[in-house]
Amino acid sequence: QVHLVESGGGLVQAGDSLRLSCAASGLTFSSYGMGWFRQAPGKEREFVASINWSGGVTYYADSVKGRCTISRDNAKRTVYLQMNSLKPEDTALYYCAGNRRGYASTSFTHYDSWGQGTQVTVSS
């Protein structure tokens, strides 16, 4: 059974940084594309960043481009999201997702497995 467990969220001030982690088990991690999505209260889930199986392809939402970096360590079966210069509008529940087909995608419909999420709250 696939398990994705996010960590690293918290309450920070605007301008601070956070690094989210997603530890995977129950899957061949090195063959999975991985993504980060977020959902704020009253809003739809939105794409944040994604990375393909090798780490050679990455995509970012325009809202986080230049402030966030997605990376992965296949040996540790972990994907990361480094977030810098955080803004109050980044406040959301952040989800890690896995795509068994291996490619990076911006669409949540391409992901087969999801974590429970980690909360990020940015105060102004």
- Of 75, 82, 77, 2, the C-alpha closest to 36 is 82
pLDDT value at residue 68? 98
Check residue 30 and report its DSSP letter.
Answer: G
pLDDT value at residue 123? 97
pLDDT value at residue 84? 98
Give CA–CA dist 26/5, Å, rounded: 12
**8 A C-beta contact, residue 103 and residue 32:** no
pLDDT value at residue 54? 97
Give CA–CA dist 81/100, Å, rounded: 19
pLDDT profile of the chain (124 residues), mean per 10: 96 98 97 98 96 98 98 98 98 98 97 97 96
pLDDT value at residue 22? 98
pLDDT value at residue 71? 98
